[in-house]
Amino acid sequence: MPRPIPLSLVLAVLVAMPLAAQQPAVLPVPTEGLAGQQVAVMPLTLVATDPAFQTDTLFDRYRERRATLTWADSVIGEAFVGRGPEVRWVLPPALRKIARRAPGIVEDPDQMGQAMLRSPKLRDVPDPLRASLRNLMAVVGGRVAMVPAALGFTRDTTGRVRAELSLVAADTRSGKVVWRTVTIGDGPTPAAALTAALDAVLPLNP
């Protein structure tokens, strides 16, 4: 008869498990399923940094919110276009132009409240965001909106910068969240950390 494993040994193994093994795996962006489609990449509206960075000179250039959002939109857009060329991504600058040309039909894509989709419990896009995305995609000419819902910066246990990016894909006709993930990247700078997070979710060999 096999001897029972002591509870103390079980607890020791669990405590020793790497944190990454306890976190959900990063789901790659489903570029194959979106190939050939027009997909809007919504502007990022939420960036949060660890309060400890307030006096860190490494973050001096990221203290102004609007400039940081614009920078992050550019990095995210370049990654989607460069690493997922099979999808016809429509980036934030183009979405803003569409909104300006269709006043009263398409709302400002920076003011739709899309950051709420960062909640992992949301499986349906709530109104009025659902209606706003549906109207936008009716003009864009597609069905799916890719939402960078939130970006956060902290430091990992070694002192390197860690970026955590929440990404959500929404079917704007059904109002369903069809895909979501949180991708994490580490690097010596915020830019390097965000790039690493995007490389993880947009692998060259998915």
Q: Which domains does the chain have, with CATH numbers?
A: 33-201 (3.40.50)
81-102 confidence digits (pLDDT tens): 999 999 999 999 999 999 999 9
Q: Residue 24: which pLDDT band, with cuts at 50, 70 and 90?
A: low
Q: List the beta bridge partners of residue 177.
A: 170
Question: Is the separation of the CB atoms in 125 and 177 below 8 Å?
Answer: yes
Q: Alpha carbon of 181 to those of 71, 81, 113, 116, 198: distances in Å?
A: 21, 19, 19, 14, 11
Share of the chain above pLDDT 90, in %: 71
What's at 127, amino acid-wise?
D
pLDDT confidence of residue 16: 36
